[in-house]
Chains A and B, each alone.
Chain A
């Protein structure tokens, strides 16, 4: 059963029970009150009639009358007080009965009391009020007057009212039920939307959000749900981005492996099966060795990159950047001098949290890249200021449309040239990885023919 049906049904049932029981209570109270009223009025009538009758019967006005005369006198007297609802009793004998009923217990003690008392008797469908008292004569005669009255009207009224009340209740209940059903359904409608959103998301529509703007608990749940969906979406996007990156890297890697493999297989095949000149045999062997060392370089760079992915081996420490620059300059000095280039360092940075080895290898990589692009006599600048370390060269630069791709693993702007210089297209990918581990990013500005400027920009 749906929640809104359950809620509506429960509410309706509780409401019905409450109205029914309170209605019944009210009706019962009314019945009691009416009974009492009827009894009271009967009592008053009885006592006033008894009083009047006492005056008539006082001193035995019909003493000495014959039985028949006495009877007709009494009948006359009774008739005088009208209303055919009294029974007159003398010494337990019915003297006169003007009611259509037979009084069974004429000698009952109750009718001999000064104060009247009565009961309500049920005879079939009829309710009869029987009330009696002594007629207060002062001459010692014992007359009793009993009021016998059909009060079924009272109960029929009650019954009619009950039926009417039930009809009204049923009508009200029907309307209430309709209203409750509609409102409950309306209140719970956002839940359906929430459920649809969840289904959509589970089916892969990650951009789906629950459009619930109510301020109640459902609204709060929907907000939490949407926050969860945001998180899931961003994580899934991130995951697929990373796996796409890995896939691309693997693709490039196999391609990168194919080239040296082709050379090695081709040259060894040539040496085995083809009769080539002596010096060509030497060239073939040299190529095989050269391609093998290219593979070796590739594998060690890859190991570096993998190591960085698992970044446990990183130890950050506070290091004065000036000292780091000096160390880098010293390491690059011989290498650059051999190519006829100079490195100019300026540093106005203070201390920074870095991993010494990684940061050094990043800078050396950048300087080597600059050196590869430059020619003898050129100058390379290493500048540290603010939150930025920049390596600038005046070399051949990067074509504008390739700047975005140079940090991709295995990407080389000029393959032939890069290979000759011993590159395998992993340098900048490695640099970017190191920068990212330091919470920094790489910024590359370059103009073909004018030089390149690569900056490591720290976020703080």
Chain B
């Protein structure tokens, strides 16, 4: 599998505030997604119509796997755009400052997959996106980090074409870190996500498994310890 460029998952970002749009795009990019920003409701609508018309197989551009949509948009608001998203079969997560329950209910009733209230944390956004992608069957099949390829379908990891044997928990840890690459996880978060909330263990356990991963994959520099936080798998596109 070495040398094959894994295609990134495309995410539609519909947000009219340039600063927030750039913030979301910056983080999606770092986490290994390909953000596609839109600032205006009407422009988004036109794009979605094109997606519908074009033949999915022969389309040059990949159809976005998910859309992060602000509710208050110029031209056509997020709720009104829902129909277009459904026609284009793109799941929607609303991203909005409107945190009253009614609009939340309205958002979810019309068919949104999730609802994130501003201000939000980067990790929260990524985790929720991942969950929606998984639920809608759009998760990545393969994750590529440096020369390491993770085959999510087969649960196998290979480095430079050579298969690397990982214990189940080590594999889970690698998938978690690589799934939101460049984002720091705290030890507690990793414990919760991989060992489960019921697990009564010490955060040392995480350190031990990280050590194993580093040794087996030669990731001493790739998995970095972030002081006062935890660990981060670093892989930036140059």
**Chain A interface residues toward B at CB < 8 A:** 255, 258-263, 265-267, 269-270, 272-277, 280, 283-284, 287, 290-291, 414-416, 419-420
Contacts and interface: CB of A to CB of B under 8 A. Distances in A.
B146 to A, nearest CB: 14
B169 to A, nearest CB: 23
A269 B26 CA distance: 12
User: Secondary structure of the A side of the interface?
Assistant: helix
Interface in B177-216: 182-184
Contacts of B18: 416, 419-420
A88 B39 CA distance: 145
A416 B98 CA distance: 18
B76 to A, nearest CB: 14
Contacts of A269: 121-122
A276 B237 CA distance: 10
Sort A-B residue pairs by CB-CB distance and give the 9 closest, nearest first.
A275-B182, A273-B184, A258-B97, A262-B119, A262-B118, A265-B119, A266-B23, A263-B19, A275-B234
21 contacts: A259-B17, A259-B20, A260-B19, A262-B97, A263-B17, A263-B20, A263-B23, A266-B27, A267-B23, A270-B26, A272-B229, A273-B226, A275-B182, A280-B26, A280-B30, A415-B16, A416-B16, A416-B39, A416-B40, A419-B18, A420-B18
Contacts of B23: 262-263, 266-267, 270, 284, 287
A405 B62 CA distance: 41
B30 A274 contact: yes
B22 interface: yes
A414 B123 CA distance: 31
A270 B122 contact: yes
Nearest to A260: B19
B236 interface: yes
A134 B147 CA distance: 172
Contacts of B22: 283, 287
A287 B25 CA distance: 14
Nearest to B235: A275
B47 interface: no
A240 to B, nearest CB: 22
Interface of B: 16-20, 22-24, 26-27, 29-31, 39-40, 74, 97-98, 118-123, 182-184, 224, 226, 229, 232, 234, 236
Contacts of B39: 416
A80 B123 CA distance: 151
Contacts of A259: 17, 19-20, 97, 118
A153 to B, nearest CB: 102
Contacts of A287: 19, 22-23
A277 B236 contact: yes
A274 B182 CA distance: 5
Given A266-B120, A274-B184, A416-B39, A290 B19 contact: yes
Contacts of B226: 273
Q: Which of A263, A290, A419: most chain B CB closer than 10 A?
A: A263
Contacts of A277: 236
Contact of B20 (A262, A275, A280): A262
A2 B39 CA distance: 74
Given A255-B97, A416-B74, A284 B123 contact: no
B62 to A, nearest CB: 23
Given A261-B119, A266-B24, A269-B121, 19 more contacts: A258-B118, A260-B19, A262-B23, A263-B17, A263-B19, A265-B121, A270-B23, A270-B26, A273-B184, A273-B226, A274-B30, A274-B122, A275-B30, A275-B236, A277-B236, A283-B26, A415-B16, A416-B16, A416-B18
Contacts of A420: 18
A259 B16 CA distance: 11
A274 B19 contact: no
Contacts of A280: 26, 30
A290 B17 CA distance: 13
B104 to A, nearest CB: 15
B184 A266 contact: no
A265 B121 CA distance: 8
Contacts of A275: 30, 182-184, 224, 232, 234, 236
Nearest to B232: A275
B120 A273 contact: no
Q: Which of B118, B121, B234: most chain A CB closer than 10 A?
A: B118
A280 B19 CA distance: 12
A262 B74 contact: no
A401 to B, nearest CB: 14
Contacts of B20: 259, 262-263, 266
A255 to B, nearest CB: 6
A280 B236 CA distance: 12
A258 B117 CA distance: 10
A95 to B, nearest CB: 128
A275 B16 CA distance: 25
B234 A266 contact: no
A115 B74 CA distance: 131
A326 B186 CA distance: 63
Contacts of A414: 74
A291 B118 CA distance: 15
B19 A291 contact: yes
B182 A266 contact: no
Contacts of A267: 23
A45 B20 CA distance: 136
Contacts of A272: 184, 229
A334 B30 CA distance: 43
Contact of A262 (B98, B120, B229): B120
Given A283-B26, A414-B74, A273 B123 contact: yes
Given A275-B182, A280-B26, A415-B16, A258 B236 contact: no
A290 B30 CA distance: 22
Given A270-B27, A416-B39, A276 B182 contact: yes
